[in-house]
Structure 1
Amino acid sequence: MELASTLMTPLWTLLAFVGLGWLAARRLAIDPRPIATLLIYLIAPLTFFRGLVLGGPTPAYLLLTLAAFLVASLLCLLVSRLVRHGFADQEAALLAFSAGTGNTGYFGLPIAMVLLPPQGVTLYLFCVLGITLYEFTLGFYISARGRFSVRESLLKIFRLPLIYAFAAALLVSGLGLGIPAPVMQGLEAFPATYTLLGMMIIGMTLGRVSLREVDGRFIGACVAVRFALWPLLALALVLGLQAMLPLPPEMALALLLLGVVPMAANVVVVAMELGIAPAKGALAVLITTLAAPLVIPLYLNWMMGVTGLG
């Protein structure tokens, strides 16, 4: 009960951002596509550049990033193989993309900052970085292949600045280069903007959705992957690591949180940018996001009890 009350404020705040996006689309006729482009090509790269520089990447932290990237990529490839014959190309691509990720940034980061100590937030961020790298490399490629050729899909990946922001942050940290204080202060605005626009774009997309675009089979598959497969995977991972080595409680809780967040808002962002069924993606994201205030406390209480963290 205590965990649920702690999470209610950030959870409902994020859902309020979705509502604001819906109002913006319905009453102001705002087009969400330029906002999706802004998130992909400017706000996300600068947000993660700042987080990586402040986090001070070490080999141990980067190993977490690599592990998260590999897990996300394997899940994407597995689901892609399983659904390719059961869904249309664009839907299969979007479902495979969503399988490798979750709303770990826009949604999960504010919750991590409530539940975890500063060290735990840093561990969580480096895991999120791996999932985000998946989104804008293999995940983006798989999504693009739902509509574009191999060459066109690869070219789209090479134009994504988040990859270069990641490399630049590693270079800055590795060489011990200092970022001027005014620059870092200016970058402080980007994490909040990243969360606000990332959640609002869900509502903006939904503001243009009609009932005939509801696809129960697609939504059911997305929900099953996000709220069945991912929690079980996160729980199994934590239990396996606890059996093999001393696992810090903040690391265990960070991993569990990765497994219980709703579907990624970037499913909508990427679908909007590539033109692959954004309405269906937005409906699936909305359903898991609306369920989050109930599901996240229930899952975390149960998983923390099983892993001895409760």
Structure 2
Amino acid sequence: MHAIDPGALMGPLWTLLSYVALGWLAARRLAVDPRPIATLLIYLVAPLTFFRGLVQGGPTPTYLLLTLAAFAVASLLALLVHRLTRGTFAPQESALLAFSAGTGNTGYFGLPVALVLLPPEGVTLYLFCVLGITLYEFTVGFYLSARGQFSVAESLAKIVRLPLIYAFLAALMVSGLGLVVPATAMEGLAVFPATYTLLGMMIIGMTLGRVSLREVDGRFIGACVAIRCVLWPLLALGAVVGLQAIAPLSRELAMAMLLLGVVPMAANVVVVAMELGIAPAKGAQAVLITTLAAPLLIPLYLTLMIRLASL
């Protein structure tokens, strides 16, 4: 495969944008407050979604190594961006930039695209990379975001209270001990991934519904777009080419890594910003712009990256 069909991406794109539109209508016409929904996502929906995905995936040492590698890369990138931007942006903006730098819309947007572009083995590899990035979001990323508003002690206290960390440990324990989650329980948990996607994208629309054009910050949005649409693709391509120079890399893993580098900004940027009260409107604007650009950029980027990586 040397070219990516843009038409294959239109279904996921329009579905996600329709969720954003529903959120906008809910804020404008029904005066729905998105903050309780953000809290619900962070403390209930996300942990249960994460637990189900990890248990179903059947983690192996190789898969968990991918999770660890994705977590490490995301964390290091976020720390680097935080260090570089804290002198030029306000504390809250720098914190939000740092959080967004380590993640992308790997789940809401990336997974439907992965299902279209990758074989089953590639989707599994992609999912375990996504787990690492998700774990970053609710540990290192959450801490950096909280530091834009709270002290070190307060930020650490907020992380300790996050149930997603315990959901991750519980899933590892279930898999490691060979325990079987009852089928009825897994069936009940099956509703949470779709709920996570729906509410996560609706929050973007709800936040945008409260924003006026006077609040648009071109400098902040430009920095977000540069990180997501320039830095991440270069990082993903460099990682694939570098690993290929060291040892043979399967096409499935290479494609999964490249896809991680070209997805739009994470909707969780808005979710976490809403929960912590750190410039959610600015985050929502940047997320929407990169999502709208995705159907044009992803086929272009992937086609070029595939050729450069000789896949």
- Would the TM-score normalized by the shorter structure come out above 0.5? yes
Greater mean deviation of Cα atoms: 108-117 or 256-265? 108-117
State the percentage of identical aligned residues.
80
For 1:202 and 1:274, locate their aligned partners in 2 and report how far apart those are by CA, in whole Å.
15
Question: Deviation per CA, 1:153-191, whole angstroms, max 9, x where unpaired?
Answer: 000000001100000000000000000000011111111
Q: Which residue of 1 aligns with 2:80?
A: 78
Paired positions, count: 309
Find 1:282's aligned residue among 281, 284, 294. 284
Q: Which residue of 1 aligns with 2:117?
A: 115
Query: Which stretches of structure 1, 4 residues or more, deviate above 2 A after TM superposition?
Result: none
Find 2:52's aligned residue among 41, 45, 50. 50
- Shift of residue 33, structure 1, vs aligned partner: 0.7
In structure 1, what residue type is equivalent to 2:181? I
- Shift of residue 254, structure 1, vs aligned partner: 0.6
For 1:149 and 1:60, locate their aligned partners in 2 and report how far apart those are by CA, in whole Å.
37
Greater mean deviation of Cα atoms: 117-126 or 68-77? 117-126
Are 1:64 and 1:130, in contact at CA under 8 Å, matched by a contact in 2?
A: yes
Are 1:3 and 1:301, in contact at CA under 8 Å, matched by a contact in 2?
A: no
2:6 aligned counterpart, secondary structure: helix
In structure 2, what residue type is equivalent to 1:305? R
- Shift of residue 280, structure 1, vs aligned partner: 0.7
For 1:73 and 1:157, locate their aligned partners in 2 and report how far apart those are by CA, in whole Å.
15
Find 1:145's aligned residue among 141, 147, 165. 147
Map of 1:1-310 to 2, 5 A cutoff?
3-309=5-311
- Shift of residue 8, structure 1, vs aligned partner: 1.4
- Shift of residue 251, structure 1, vs aligned partner: 0.7
Q: Which runs of 5+ in 1 are unaligned?
A: none
For 1:117 and 1:186, locate their aligned partners in 2 and report how far apart those are by CA, in whole Å.
27
Greater mean deviation of Cα atoms: 1-10 or 54-63? 1-10
Question: Deviation per CA, 1:110-152, whole angstroms, max 9, x where unpaired?
Answer: 1111211222111111111111111111110110010101111
For 1:197 and 1:108, locate their aligned partners in 2 and report how far apart those are by CA, in whole Å.
16
Structure 1 residues 123 and 2: alpha-carbon distance in aligned structure 2, compared to 1, 3 A threshold: closer
TM-score by length of 1: 0.98
Question: Deviation per CA, 1:199-246, whole angstroms, max 9, x where unpaired?
Answer: 111111100111121111000000000000000000010111112222
For 1:192 and 1:118, locate their aligned partners in 2 and report how far apart those are by CA, in whole Å.
20
For 1:240 and 1:60, locate their aligned partners in 2 and report how far apart those are by CA, in whole Å.
19
Are 1:26 and 1:207, in contact at CA under 8 Å, matched by a contact in 2?
A: yes
For 1:301 and 1:210, locate their aligned partners in 2 and report how far apart those are by CA, in whole Å.
37
For 1:51 and 1:89, locate their aligned partners in 2 and report how far apart those are by CA, in whole Å.
34
Are 2:4 and 2:303, in contact at CA under 8 Å, matched by a contact in 1?
A: no
Are 2:66 and 2:132, in contact at CA under 8 Å, matched by a contact in 1?
A: yes
1:104 aligned counterpart, secondary structure: coil
Are 1:262 and 1:288, in contact at CA under 8 Å, matched by a contact in 2?
A: yes
For 1:117 and 1:43, locate their aligned partners in 2 and report how far apart those are by CA, in whole Å.
28
1:267 aligned counterpart, secondary structure: helix
- Shift of residue 308, structure 1, vs aligned partner: 2.5
For 1:193 and 1:250, locate their aligned partners in 2 and report how far apart those are by CA, in whole Å.
28
Q: Which runs of 5+ in 2 are unaligned?
A: none
